[in-house]
Structure 1
Amino acid sequence: MHFNSTRFTIDPTPRRADGEYIAHARISTHGVDGSACDIHLSGDLAGFDVREDAVAYAKNWAQEWLDARFG
């Protein structure tokens, strides 16, 4: 479940805690040697009852974060 652009990868996979899905995002890029390099780890963003809602929220949050920094 990764959003891929030419420069960045967004991993919006939620974690499960206390009966809900916790949205968070890992934004990474690839180094010169091809290895993954984290750009930003969001931390917990919000809790959701439905997994797909957590994924959509994290994707949107990450895309806005990237737009604000890399336009």
Structure 2
Amino acid sequence: MKLSAIYRFYRDGFSAMRLGRTLWTVVAVKLLILFGVIKMLFFSDTLQSRFDSDEARQEYVSRQLTGTP
């Protein structure tokens, strides 16, 4: 089955729904909010706050990946 056939199947199915666009909009908004909150809470910019230069960040990441002290 071609990828385009799968796309058309879902496109036609959701366009025939009465609330299809509204539901997809709600899903998209919820995902944006969810990922935005997760990014703010769990993925802080540690390297930016701990190191002043790009060279220091590169050296730190290199040492962490290779396991050298």
TM bucket, shorter chain = 0.3 to 0.5
> Which structure: greater helix fraction?
2
> Which structure: greater strand fraction?
1
TM (norm. structure 1) is: 0.34
**Which is greater in Rg?**
2
Which of the pair has the greater relative contact order for Cα pairs under 8 Å at 6+ separation? 1
